[in-house]
Amino acid sequence: MALWARAEVWMAGPRVPLRRAHALATSANLPPKAVLPFEAIPQCPGNKWLRVLQIWREGSEDLHLQMQRTFQELGPIFRYDVGGKYMVHVMLPEDVEKLKQAEGYQPHRMALEPWLAHRQHRGQKCGVFLLNGPAWRADRLRLNPDVMSPKAVQKFIPMVDRVARDFSKALMAKVLQNTRKSLTMDIQPSIFYYTLEASNLVLFGERLGLLSQSPSPTSLNFIHALEAMLKSTMQLMFMPRSLSRWMSPGVWKQHFEAWDYIFQYANNSIQKIYQELALGRPQRYSGIVSELLLHADMTLDAIKASSIDLTAGSVDTTAFPLLMTLFELARNPEVQQALRQESLQAEAKISENPQRANTELPLLRAALRETLRLYPVGMTVERQVSSDLVLQNYHIPAGVSEGPQPRPADTKLSGHAPTGQLTLPLPSCLQTLVIVQLYSLGRNPTVFPRPELYQPQRWLNRTSPTRLPYVAFGFGPRQCLGRRVAETEMLFLLHHVLKHFQVDTLTQEDINMVYRFVLMPSTLPLLTFRAIN
């Protein structure tokens, strides 16, 4: 168990004055202590209901920095309660391991109330992101073979490879229009188009033409809907529905309209596949949803629900790590050159067989891990513990009921949100939520020496006595369902871009990150792409 001793230590990132500085030390030779009660866990000062009001008024874009400062002041575990939820925050690998060991076959997540409200109001089935218990496990076990398994990855890799090659060709065409064979640009829109193009092909087997000069209005509206959904989620997620329906009716309206468009977009794509399958079995692999429909292990509504989860999580969560990787490589040219050499040496084998990319590009895969260490797009991994647990010598009580209990409530929201009876989950005894803060974990110098440096090689150090924690996509049976799709999209885009372009930037300063349900850069500097050969 790790303890915090007095020392002059700061975590990587913005340096803040500490009232009580702490450093990690081992307690292997210390005598065991009596387990302390839950109430003894250090608490973040402030009223939990005033926090809700503050988030509603001001947002929480610096929440990751607030959490980092609180760890520095209170130690490796603390309570930060918001509204009616008891939240225990941790940031050490040993606590991650204990959570893994304790979670069982049906890990329980906190219900994301704004998303759940939309499904309930619209009479839509929940996908695996929102489900818990046996219903979650049944659907997840049916989805894994076609989404997460090595066999599934081998099937969709050629699709992603084609889109990544097309992206590189389109970028080269723009660069070569300039006599200097270089182009300084805001690459963010192009990266968003790539992730949506690749994800749509993998999920629905259809190209959208987003890499052309004029993307379709439908695709642009989908991206805008995703942005609106994420923004409104952040504004609503900590406030009880009974309160937010009066204080934020306009936000609820925006949230419902955004989700309605996302559902319409995904439903149209699924309907096309369904019609094509009715004409006969496809001769070749045509995407994840097609495979799910062919296997007929899940109902059509269940396939739609989880496909929408994957669609909604397919753009921002992949685009932002790609953007931050390109930025870090631009200001670390020696790392960029090493990755380029690896890609050039592996190109012949990957061109012959794209499935070999995962084994032929170990340094590039390490670079993606390094990016997600510094900039975890999903800032936390959380679990509602189903059995009592001891973390940092504190007792953590179980806080999960067997399932939500229906309760009638007046649910008039506003605008397009309908009026009627809504089933709300009753709180369990404590609703104890344990949250792993990935931003603080990734910048802890006792876990990652010199954490402020971008060093992909650290992930390939086989002489290290301990394995570095990598939980950017969660862990265990409840890890991110779209993990393999996201990793494949990032790997192939960087592979093809680095072969053909030198990426530069004039900006050497750190980028300010903001939390808007996902962790993202507040602004991104212009990048210069120079054609090689």
Amino acid in position 88: V
Residues 480-522 have pLDDT tens digits of 999 999 999 999 999 999 999 999 999 999 999 999 889 999 9
For 308-347, the pLDDT digits (tens) are 999 988 899 999 999 999 999 999 999 999 999 999 999 9
For residue 529, what are the β-bridge partners?
183, 503
Q: What is the pLDDT along the chain (533 residues), one digit of tens a residue?
A: 333 332 323 334 443 333 333 444 333 344 567 899 999 999 987 766 666 666 666 667 888 998 999 999 999 999 987 666 788 999 999 999 999 998 888 898 888 889 999 999 999 999 999 999 999 999 999 999 999 999 999 999 999 999 999 999 999 999 999 889 999 999 999 999 999 999 999 999 999 999 987 778 888 898 899 989 988 998 888 777 777 788 889 999 999 999 999 999 999 999 999 888 888 878 889 999 999 999 989 999 999 999 999 998 889 999 999 999 999 999 999 999 999 999 999 999 999 999 999 999 999 999 999 999 999 999 999 998 888 999 999 999 987 443 433 333 333 333 333 333 333 333 334 468 899 999 999 999 999 999 999 999 999 987 666 788 999 999 999 999 999 999 999 999 999 999 999 999 999 999 999 998 899 999 988 999 999 97
Quote the CA–CA distance of 257 and 263 in Å, as a whole number: 10
pLDDT of residue 361: 97
Calpha distance 238→251 (Å, rounded):
13
Within 8 A by CB and 6+ apart from 334, the residues are: none
- What are the Cα distances from residue 86, in Å, to 47, 233, 383, 393, 434? 12, 20, 12, 18, 9
Cα 52 to Cα 82: distance, rounded to the nearest angstrom: 6
CB 416 within 8 A of CB 256: yes
Specify whether the CB–CB gap between 288 and 132 falls below 8 A: no
Residue closest to 81 by CA, chosen among 486, 477, 433: 433
Would you say 370 and 494 are in contact if contact means Cβ atoms under 8 Å apart? Answer: no
Give the number of other Cβ atoms within 10 Å of residue 445's Cβ.
15
Helix (H, G, I), strand (E, B) or coil at 87: strand
CB 326 within 8 A of CB 503: yes
How would you classify the pairing of strands 432-437 and 86-90? parallel
From residue 414, alpha-carbon distances to 244, 407, 421, 520 in Å are: 11, 21, 14, 30
What pLDDT does 58 receive?
62
Reduced to 3 states, what is the DSSP secondary structure of residue 46?
coil
CB atoms within 10 A of CB 121: 19
